[in-house]
Amino acid sequence: QWGLHTKWLGSKIIHKKSVPSTQNIAHQLAQEGAQHGTVIIADEQTAGRGRLERKWHSMSEQGIWMSLLLRPKIPPIQAPQLTLLAATVLADILLKKVNVKAYIKWPNDIILNDKKIAGILTEMQAEQDQIQYIVLGIGINVNQSHHEFPEELKSIATSLKIETNKTHNIRDLIQSILTTFEQTYDHYLQNGFHDIKMKWESFGYKLGETVNITTPNHTWNTTILGIESDGGLLIKNPDGKTEKIYSAEIYNEGN
Which residues, at least 6 apart from 98, have a Cβ–Cβ distance to it below 8 Å?
A: 160, 164, 168, 173
Of 244, 227, 234, 207, which Cα lies nearest the Cα of 85?
Answer: 227
Shortest distance in whole angstroms from residue 238 CB to ligand BT5: 27
Element containing residue 23 per DSSP (H, E): helix 22-31
Nearer to ligand BT5, 21 or 180 (CB): 21
Least spacing, CB of residue 191 vs ligand BT5, in Å: 27
Closest contact distance (angstroms) between CB of 109 and ligand BT5 is 6
- Of residues 98 and 189, the one with the C-beta less far from ligand BT5: 98
Are 43 and 174 within 8 A, CB to CB?
no
Considering the complex, state which of residue 167 and residue 191 has its C-beta at the smaller distance from ligand BT5: 167
Instruction: Kindly state the smallest distance separating residue 239's Cβ from ligand BT5, in Å.
Output: 29
State the CB neighbour count (10 A cutoff) for residue 73. Answer: 8
Residues 62/142, Cβ–Cβ less than 8 Å: yes
Query: Does the annotation place 97 within a ligand binding site?
Result: no
Question: Do 63 and 117 contact (CB within 8 A), yes or no?
Answer: no
List 5's β-bridge partners, or say none.
none
State in angstroms the smallest separation of the CB of 144 from ligand BT5. Answer: 8
Which CB sits closer to ligand BT5, 131 or 157?
A: 157
Cβ atoms of 175 and 2 within 8 Å: the answer is yes
Closer to ligand BT5 at the Cβ: 80 or 139?
139
116 appears as a binding residue in the annotation: yes
Smallest distance, ligand BT5 to C-beta of residue 115, A: 8
Distance CA 24, CA 68 (A): 11
Q: Closest CB to ligand BT5 belongs to which residue?
A: 119
Q: What share of the chain is helix, strand, coil (3-state, %, to 5)?
A: 30, 35, 35
* Cα 13 to the center of its chain, rounded Å: 19
Q: Which residues bind ligand BT5 (CB under 6 A)?
A: 21-23, 45, 48-52, 54-58, 65-67, 108-109, 116, 119-121, 137-139, 141, 153, 157
Closer CB to ligand BT5, 98 or 120, in the complex:
120
The answer to the question of whether 96 is labelled as a binding residue is no
Asked if residue 51 belongs to a known ligand binding site, the reply is: yes
- One-letter amino acid for residue 167 of the chain: T
CA–CA separation, 186 vs 74, rounded Å?
12
What is the phi/psi pair of residue 222, to 5°? -155, 170
Which parts are annotated binding residues for biotin? Answer: 45, 49-51, 116
